[in-house]
Amino acid sequence: MTLAQPGSWRSPITPEMLTESGVTFGYTQTFDGELYWDELRPTENGRNVVVSKTGGDLLPPPWSASTRVHEMGGLSWLVCTWQKVTGVLFAEKTDQRIYWLAPGAGPVPITPESPTGTLARYCDFLIRDSEIWCIREITRGHETSRDLIAINPVGEIRTLDANSHFYAHLVLSPDQNSLAWISWEHPQMSWDGTELRVAKISSNGELATSEARAGSTSEAVNSPVWANNETLFYLSDKSGFWNIWETSGLGSNRQVVSESAEWSKPMWQVGMNLLRILPDGKLVGIHGSPAAEKVAVVDPTTGAVTDCKSELSNFSQISVHDNQIFAIGGGVKVPAAIVEFSASTGQDAGTISEVSLPVDVRYFPTVRNVSFPSKAGRTVHAFISEATNPDFESSEKPPVIITAHGGPTANTTGVAAIKRAFVTSRGFTVVDVDYGGSTGYGRDYREVLKGQWGIVDTEDILAVVAGLIESGIADPNQILIRGGSAGGFVVLNGLVHSNVFAAGANYYGVAELTMLAQDTHDFESRYLDSLVGAYPQERDLYIERSPLTYADNLTSPLIIFQGADDPIVPPSQSQAFRDACIKNGIKHKYFEFPGESHGFRKSETIMTCAIEELKFYGEVLGFTPDL
How does the average pLDDT of the chain come out, rounded?
96
pLDDT of residue 84: 96
Q: Are 114 and 238 contained in the same domain?
A: yes
% of residues, the chain, pLDDT over 90: 92
Confidence of residue 43 (pLDDT cuts 50, 70, 90): confident
Q: Are 248 and 129 contained in the same domain?
A: yes
Q: Are 230 and 185 contained in the same domain?
A: yes
- Give the DSSP per-residue string, 490-540: HHHHHHHS-S--SEEEEES----HHHHHHSS-GGGTTHHHHHT--TTTTHH
Return the closest-CA partner of residue 378 out of 475, 446, 298: 446
pLDDT of residue 442: 98
Q: Specify whether the CB–CB gap between 110 and 100 falls below 8 A.
A: yes
pLDDT of residue 429: 98
Give the helix/strand (H/E) hosting 461.
helix 456-470
Cβ partners under 8 Å of residue 377, min gap 6: none
Instruction: With H, G, I as helix, E, B as strand and everything else as coil, classify residue 489.
Output: helix
C-alpha to C-alpha distance for 102 and 504, rounded to whole angstroms:
50
Per-residue pLDDT at 42 exceeds 90: no
Per-residue pLDDT at 22 exceeds 90: no
Residue pLDDT, tens place only, 278-319: 999 999 999 999 999 999 999 999 999 999 999 999 999 999
Q: Specify whether the CB–CB gap between 510 and 431 falls below 8 A.
A: no
Tell me the mean pLDDT in the region 263-271: 96
Q: Are 247 and 283 contained in the same domain?
A: no
Task: Kindly state whether residue 426 falls inside one of the protein's structural domains.
Answer: yes
Residue pLDDT, tens place only, 207-258: 999 999 999 999 999 999 999 999 999 999 999 999 999 999 767 899 999 9
Return the closest-CA partner of residue 375 out of 489, 494, 463: 463
| Domain of residue 605, residue span | 367-621
Q: Specify whether the CB–CB gap between 7 and 399 falls below 8 A.
A: yes
What does the angle CA 320 – CA 323 – CA 327 come to, to the nearest 5 degrees?
35
pLDDT of residue 19: 83
What does the angle CA 197 – CA 446 – CA 598 come to, to the nearest 5 degrees?
80
* Total number of domains constituting the chain: 3
Domain boundary among 268, 292, 324: 268
Q: Are 425 and 502 contained in the same domain?
A: yes
Phi and psi dihedrals of 2, rounded to 5? -95, 135
Return the closest-CA partner of residue 515 out of 557, 492, 547: 547
Return the closest-CA partner of residue 388 out of 420, 415, 355: 420
Tell me the mean pLDDT in the region 82-94: 97
Task: Kindly state whether residue 17 falls inside one of the protein's structural domains.
Answer: no
Per-residue pLDDT at 70 exceeds 90: yes
Tell me the mean pLDDT in the region 79-101: 98
- Is the pTM above the cut of 0.75? yes
Per-residue pLDDT at 46 exceeds 90: no
Residue type, 310: S
Tell me the mean pLDDT in the region 395-404: 97
Q: Are 595 and 530 contained in the same domain?
A: yes
Residue type, 90: F
Confidence of residue 622 (pLDDT cuts 50, 70, 90): very high
Q: Are 119 and 242 contained in the same domain?
A: yes
Q: Are 411 and 279 contained in the same domain?
A: no
Tell me the mean pLDDT in the region 16-38: 92
Q: Are 334 and 205 contained in the same domain?
A: no
Tell me the mean pLDDT in the region 498-518: 95
Domain boundary among 321, 356, 391: 356
What is the CATH classification number for the domain harbouring 31?
2.130.10.120
Return the closest-CA partner of residue 129 out of 197, 175, 160: 175
Q: Are 105 and 204 contained in the same domain?
A: yes
Q: Are 350 and 381 contained in the same domain?
A: no
pLDDT of residue 539: 97
Give the helix/strand (H/E) hosting 459.
helix 456-470
Domain boundary among 296, 323, 356: 356
Q: Are 313 and 212 contained in the same domain?
A: no
Task: Kindly state whether residue 322 falls inside one of the protein's structural domains.
Answer: yes
pLDDT of residue 567: 83
Identify the bridge partners of residue 330 per DSSP, sorted by sequence position. 314
What is the CATH classification number for the domain harbouring 588?
3.40.50.1820
